[in-house]
């Protein structure tokens, strides 16, 4: 972890460095913690068809369509998982008596994947995500820090073997070595966590991905075992799957806030949303899509960040027509 931070692989995510070793020492983050209960929640939508990996990868062949990561097409998972973990905590307290606890769902400096791996939820794949033999990697992680000493569960054996599918397919080669991710090159980081201009050398590689990237998970053989969620919370919202970039780019800030209410997408704000779509539109324009007029409508946008990405997009010109 420290070596990863020293190499700057965390990019703009300063909170990862700010909390130092508290991330790896639960009792320093929450004094009195004696055990950590880890949990996972599947998020693949319940109506997902067989062959869904191929369906999702095929979206890359339609440059005028915006791709939103699977996990972000429904309700904000923070709210769903946090509520359920809190209820679980209350049930444990009812059974055991007074229980000091704190619930986390990607909401604090917690090494979630590492804690989950140590507790036997799965193993860390070469893409650094947690993998489970019965559920692949399409699940959210959460934790309950408790002040009770519980019997430890055992870690499981790693089952990636010689497979390097995730590393080979990563569009920006962000997986620089097995189990080592340079977040500064990761499309999920660039489109969600990064607040400034997207590096010029990476823009063309982003393609039509406008919020997150699932590629390393889509090619992982273990995700043939990914489980559908029984919860309607993760069903895709209308307008966030298979939508044309030009339509998404036309959203005003009020429309953005209204359409992303209760969605994890809202956290990036309208400015980053437009920045991401401008990059995707530039990539579509290069492939001959008729999107120039949509871009020109934002050429005088009040945001310097948006204007710069629109200018770049308009300069992409036309190379090969879309078929």
Provide the annotated active-site residues. 106
Contact present, 213 and 69 (Cβ < 8 Å): yes
Per-residue b or e along 249-279, where b marks 16 or more CB atoms closer than 10 Å to that residue's CB: bebeeeebeebbeebbbbebebbbbbbbbbb
* Positive/negative CA dihedral, 266, 271, 275, 281: positive
Q: 3-class DSSP state for residue 239?
A: coil
Q: Residues 6 or more apart from 151 whose CB is under 8 A from it?
A: none
> DSSP E strands: which ranges in the chain?
35-42, 67-68, 101-104, 123-124, 130-131, 139-146, 175-177, 180-181, 209-211
Q: 3-class DSSP state for residue 149?
A: coil
Rounded Cα gap, residues 220 and 222, in angstroms: 5
Rounded Cα gap, residues 125 and 174, in angstroms: 14
Give the tokens for residue 136: 């692949």
Give the tokens for residue 221: 């053989």
Give backbone dihedrals phi and psi of 93, rounded to 5 degrees, phi first. -65, -35
Q: What angle do CA 208, 211, 216 make, to 5 degrees?
A: 80
Cα diameter, the chain: 68
Rounded Cα gap, residues 279 and 99, in angstroms: 49
- The CA R_g of the chain, rounded to the nearest whole Å, is 21
């Amino acid at each position: 972890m420290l070596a990863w931070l020293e190499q700057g692989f965390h990019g703009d995510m300063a909170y990862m460095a700010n909390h130092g070793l508290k991330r790896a020492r639960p009792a320093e983050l929450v004094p009195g913690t004696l055990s950590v209960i880890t949990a996972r929640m599947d998020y693949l939508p319940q109506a997902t068809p067989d062959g869904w990996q191929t369906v999702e990868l095929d979206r890359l062949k339609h440059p005028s369509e915006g791709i939103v990561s699977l996990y972000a097409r429904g309700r904000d998972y923070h709210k769903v998982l946090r509520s359920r973990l809190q209820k679980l905590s209350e049930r444990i307290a009812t059974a055991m008596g007074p229980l000091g606890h704190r619930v986390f769902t990607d909401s604090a400096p917690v090494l979630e994947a590492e804690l989950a791996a140590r507790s036997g939820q799965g193993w860390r794949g070469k893409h650094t995500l947690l993998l489970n033999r019965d559920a692949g990697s399409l699940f959210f992680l959460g934790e309950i820090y408790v002040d009770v000493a519980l019997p430890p569960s055992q870690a499981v054996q790693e089952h990636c073997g010689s497979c390097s599918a995730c590393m080979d397919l990563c569009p920006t080669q962000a997986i620089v070595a097995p189990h080592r991710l340079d977040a500064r090159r990761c499309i999920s980081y660039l489109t969600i966590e990064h607040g400034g201009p997207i590096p010029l050398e990476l823009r063309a590689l982003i393609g039509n991905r406008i919020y997150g990237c699932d590629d390393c998970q889509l090619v992982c053989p273990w995700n043939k075992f990914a489980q559908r969620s029984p919860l309607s919370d993760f069903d895709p919202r209308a307008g966030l799957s298979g939508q044309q970039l030009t339509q998404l780019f036309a959203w005003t800030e009020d429309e953005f806030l209204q359409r992303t209410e209760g969605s994890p997408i809202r956290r990036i704000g309208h400015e980053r949303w437009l920045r991401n779509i401008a990059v995707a539109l530039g990539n579509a324009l290069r492939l001959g899509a008729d999107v120039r007029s949509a871009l020109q409508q934002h050429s005088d946008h009040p945001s310097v960040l948006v204007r710069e990405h629109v200018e770049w997009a308009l300069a992409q010109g036309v190379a090969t027509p879309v078929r």
